[in-house]
Amino acid sequence: MPFLIDSHAHVNFNAYKDDGDAVIRRSLGKGIWLINVGSQYDTSKRAAEIANQYKEGVYAAIGLHPIHLSHTEVDEEEIHFKTREEFFDEDKYQALIDADKNHKIVAVGEIGLDYFHIPENFTLKEIRERQAPDFIKQLHFAAKNNLPVIIHCRDSERGKFDAYRDTLDILRTEIKNGLVFRGIKHSFDGNLEIAEEFFQLGFYVGFTGVITFGKNAEELRQLVKNLPLDKILVETDCPYLSPDPHRGERNEPSFVEFTAAKIAELKGVTLSEVAKATIFNTQKLFRI
């Protein structure tokens, strides 16, 4: 049994092109397993390839992140890159699953809606209309392959939970129409009401190192206190969102321990209890 599972990592990204194997082995050496999550076809393929290099403890998710549906420049404190336009090609992604003889692909993701990064010459309405069809297509793809989904949704700068609301509406509509799937809202930063709406759909929520940050994360920490452990997963979202005491450094899966420890502190339980619960949740969701 692992000590912890980082349910959302990106060691398949270029930030680790020179030392990815060392980063993974450092994590496995601490008993920390991980799921590398794709954001487009290339990083999805790489996640699957990396997972197959390890007998145990390294898994993959494949999918197309909404910001890759258009040419977008991302320039934030920790993140600087330009995306190229790509659309979900089901045949290419299906080929990855069909070739996955070791069953290392455990989810479709990350997929969803992103209203924060609006490309030039696009309105929010146009971005919504572009992203929603591919999101729905990938939900159906996941259901067809009996895989859970890893949901990304990020609100616009002016909208309070607008991406969250649209995501939940899409999920409810597809379920009402007979689609059967399960999943997680990763890097959760909604409120208690939204968390409970995800729970009602059978989803989990994931927390990152953000909960270890300063005063700006106090609202999120209060939320963690009020959520049941049987609905929570831990993640790094590395190379981003390094927890204290590693703020400003490149994040890595072994740092997920700091997030788990903060959850234990907030809920007044032991790290061992948090580890046991989040491992069970992760293994149940992804059927690891």
How confident is the prediction for the chain on average, in pLDDT?
Answer: 94
- State the pLDDT at residue 215: 87
Which has the higher per-residue pLDDT, 283 or 80? 283
pLDDT digits (tens, 9 = 90+) for 164-211: 999 999 999 999 999 999 999 999 999 999 999 999 999 999 999 999
Q: What is the mean pLDDT of residues 8-35?
A: 98
- State the pLDDT at residue 75: 46
Cα–Cα distance for residue pair 224/236, rounded to 1 Å: 16
Does residue 68 register a pLDDT over 70?
Answer: yes
- State the pLDDT at residue 79: 57
Find the CATH number of the domain harbouring 19.
Answer: 3.20.20.140
pTM of the model: 0.95
- Give the tokens for residue 89: 């090609």
Range of the domain at 86: 4-286
Task: Report the percent of the chain where pLDDT is more than 90.
Answer: 89
- State the pLDDT at residue 278: 98
The Cα angle at residue 6 between residues 2 and 10, in degrees rounded to 5: 135
Q: What is the mean pLDDT of residues 218-233?
A: 97
- State the pLDDT at residue 72: 67
- State the pLDDT at residue 85: 82
Q: What is the mean pLDDT of residues 26-49?
A: 98
pLDDT digits (tens, 9 = 90+) for 71-113: 666 544 555 556 678 999 999 999 999 999 999 999 999 999 9
- State the pLDDT at residue 78: 58
Bridge partner list, 184: 150, 204
Amino acid at 162: D
Cα–Cα distance for residue pair 156/258, rounded to 1 Å: 29
Number of domains in the chain: 1
- State the pLDDT at residue 119: 83
Q: How many residues does the chain have?
A: 288
Cα–Cα distance for residue pair 1/21, rounded to 1 Å: 21
